[in-house]
Amino acid sequence: MATVASTPTTEALPKRPNAVWQFIRSEPLGIFGFLIILLYVVCALGAPWIAHYHPEAIDFAAMLSAPGEAHWFGTDQYGRDVFSRIVYGSRTALAVGILSAFIGCTLGAVLGAASGYFGGRIDTAIQRVVDIMLSFPIIVLAMVVVSVLGKQSVLGIDTNLIAAIALPIIPKMARVARSSTLSIVAMPFIDAARAAGFSHKRIILRHILPNIVAPYLIMVTAFVAQAILLEASLSFLGLGVTEPTPAWGLMLSGASADFYQTAPWMILFPGIAITLAVFAFNLFGDSLRDWLDPKLKS
């Protein structure tokens, strides 16, 4: 009598837990930060529909109007709606912050991986350059770069400002990538790949870089917050975004000296926008670090 082999049913197989759901359950503060970030993204993408006025529209009849039904966050010294400028300013903050962090962390990861993998003179040369760059405070280095390069806009984005903010990020990311690479290079599978005759390019692309993705993502989220704060600082000092482009730091600069007593809302609301953005990215980055770091998870 022939027997039919039984096949396992789906009910007998254990269900793999959803990583996103696990992150939501274990890191509620990270989800809170992510929701704030998502709110800023919605404001940046939907600014023409969310803002009640054009951010550069001047209304001298409404100069220094207090927050009310017509102008939720009041108006500035030119009668421009503060709420609309904050909404449109999220575009500047996110564009500069995300691009600067991505470019700086990517270049730093490549340099750090090359430094840790090759070692020797290459490692020494890269690390000495990193040491020189780290000797300058991040705000000073960015000020020097943006002062030397000047201003150059492409598609409405100041590319030189992005370069000035990304440059101080490179050495910090390079140090993190180098330390991660050194621990990976000591693993047996790297020796096995070398013994199999794999090229340096293949080992770096297939074995080194995929294993430093976790610290890379963590550093990107952390440096987005620093980049937003640095962009606001440079704009406040007159070295970043210029009028009439809406930017949070520029709004603080225009209100700090003459209107902090008569129109405090000109300082209050842009300051809250900067604080919430930096807080959200830091909160999400810390939660992402706790989730991706196996030592902290254990």
Q: Which two tokens stand for residue 27?
A: 């890191």
Q: What's the pLDDT at 14?
A: 47
Q: Which two tokens stand for residue 63?
A: 């100069």
Q: What's the pLDDT at 59?
A: 81
Class of CATH domain 43-60+69-297: mainly alpha
**10-residue averages of pLDDT along the chain (298 residues):** 47 54 75 92 91 84 83 85 91 90 92 88 90 84 78 66 88 90 86 82 83 86 90 82 81 71 85 92 85 60
Q: What's the pLDDT at 224?
A: 92
Q: What's the pLDDT at 8?
A: 47
Q: Give CA–CA dist 209/221, Å, rounded.
A: 18
The full set of domain ranges for the chain reads 43-60+69-297
Q: What's the pLDDT at 9?
A: 47
88: how many CB neighbours lie within 10 A of its CB?
22
Q: Which two tokens stand for residue 206?
A: 């297939």
Distances (CA, A) of 237 to 9, 140, 256, 267: 66, 12, 11, 15
Using an 8 Å Cβ cutoff, are 174 and 112 in contact? yes
pLDDT tens digits, 64-81: 888 888 888 888 888 888
Q: Which two tokens stand for residue 15?
A: 């269900």
Q: What's the pLDDT at 74?
A: 86
